[in-house]
Structure 1
Amino acid sequence: MVIWIILLTMTAAAVMAVLWPLSRHHGQNRQVDPNTQFYRSQLAEIERDQEKGALLPSEAEAAKAEAARRLLRANGQQDAGFVAVGEPALRRRRAASALALSVVPILAIAIYGAYGSPHFQGGAPIAIKQEAAKLDFAAAVGQIEAHLASNPEDGRGWEVLAPVYLRMGRVDDAVKAYGSAIRYLGPEAGRLANYGEAMVLAKDGVVSAEAQAAFEQAVALDKSSAKARFYLARAAEQDGQIEKAKSAYSDLLSTSPADAPWVPVVREQLSRLGAPQSDAAEAGAPRIGSDDIARMVSGLAARLEAQGGSAEEWARLMRSYAVLGQRDKAAAAAKQARQALAKDEAGLKTIEMMARELKLTDAEP
């Protein structure tokens, strides 16, 4: 509200500054007319001559009448000039007044809209503030990284930075940060579970042998670690141990609070594996699109079989089958990849590395 009062005051001052010079004719009109002043001088002189006896009364009256006629003629010419010249000037003054009264406020509003509008908060627009927040966040991360470069044994700093890396999409850096936190702070169930999860994310959902070892160590330290237990169940599923996976998922579900955030995912996994569940559990289990994922994997497989592809695409297909628990198809995909990439030495190394990571020992040549 204060800004509007200030703007109105400034606008009024600007308008008055423009209109004041235009109103000077008003003051001038109030001055004594020179013709009238001359007429009064003549009358006074005639009266003095009459008192001295230089003029008879009749002559004095005639002289006064003649002076009055000259005054009327002079005033008539002045009025005509005012009509001919003063009227256009008056119109110009009125036009200038209207212009000042309209353009000045409009200009003030336009300037305020560009530099002081309600979209601005505290003197800066929201978009700029958001961008500044991003820059501040990046600067804070840079400061932490600089600190850790000078103090690499600060385990707490690594543990704080690791989830930030995940938020930024720097998954590989998060894995390294969690590893450093464990190295300098020691193994702890939650820390190990986070470390293993970061490795799973880095492998597009595949529980590698290293990640599985981290989860097993976490459960050894805390048997109630839900995150570690979930990923161990997934590891069993990826290894083709379906019954073991079902049992692990069921145990986790039975010991979890009904409102735990991971419960819907566990129910979905059990449903996908064909484990029987109560109607209530089925009704509360959200669908996360496993059928859609399966269709996408099938589409990738069909394209690679028909047109071939890069080693990375074949490796992605192997990993996708493993995540879905279809180890036989993952092994078959590894065999097809070796045949398709027989002349690509680097590509074959990629396939063998993925086969070892997925523990597809039966798929090796």
Structure 2
Amino acid sequence: MLLWIIFACLTAAVAALLILPLARAGASVDDSAEGEAAVYRDQLRELERDKGLGLIGEEEAEYARAEIGRRLIATADKEANATASPAKRRASLAVAGVTLVVPAIGLCLYLALGSPWLPAQPLAARLENPGNNLDLLVAKAERHLAQNPRDGAGWDLLAPIYFRTQRLGDAEMAYRNAIRFLGASPERLAGLGETLVAANDGIVIEDARSAFEEAIKLKPDDARVRFYLALALEQAGKNDEARVAFEALAKDTPPGAPWLALVNEHIAKTGGTVIPDLDNNDEAVAAIQSMGAEDQQSAIKGMVEALATRLEQEPNNIAGWLQLVRSYAVLGDRLRAQQALDTGLQTFAPTTGEGRQLVALGVEMGLEPQQPIGGGAKP
């Protein structure tokens, strides 16, 4: 009921603000005509007084009375015309429109689009039925946990949501409470470790490393945990151990996995030899791995050159261009990586979906994506 009273007061205030200028305009016309008529009536009274005192003759008085009467009649006609003028009628219609039409339209819209038959819902009621509103879902879970702080399932639900929304302090608390009340699991331990890394600007601190070590015992093939443990070795200056860990992870990673490129970058940073996944040919990769370091480099370069030749003949292959750019970049040949990127963008314009993939890869590799003009020289 209070809401309806507020709406009514607001409507009345707005209507008054709109009507006031119109009312003033009409009043100014009326006041002008009324004042002029009053002057002429005063003149008639003065004329009669002067005649009674003998200050003016009968004939002169009749002439003056006729002139003043004519002017008084003209004033009355002008007032009548002003009252019936188009401007006056428009002002009256505007007043009626503001007073009646605007509230009527608002009421009709509310009845059509609103829900006047539903009772007002306080926050508690909205929390009971949050629908797909993530904020309300979180608020509902938080209210529940405030009353039931030992509910591990609630903390387990909130922890990854906090992490995705960058509420890292709350995410750490939620993961620790979930582990405390539900017990350790690979997912909870890995989530806690990743939260701690994110909160410390990518540094695998001791608490994070401990969480990852516990997680790997429960799930030895977890690629995410293995990556962070290898990263911890690299950050500790143990490049040899880190390289071995990264190479083992790359070996166990399926072809085309999204994290493989990142693993290869760390292999290169720690002094290892990256074998580009050019054709997903397991036999070729196994053969290269069995070679010495010098022969490996020669074989890898041969595979890269073969891919470059194939792309020159069949350039409409976005996967091939992405692989070629990445392979040159991993091998440290930035000039050819840039040439491959530019040539690929001749086939796939930067405004296309494929072109945007090339541009994104170029930025990731520290190159300068551009669309060159001219023919496509062999990269």
Q: Same fold (TM over 0.5)?
A: no
For normalisation by structure 2, the TM-score amounts to 0.42
Q: Which has the higher contact order (CA 8 A, sep 6+)?
A: 1
For normalisation by structure 1, the TM-score amounts to 0.43
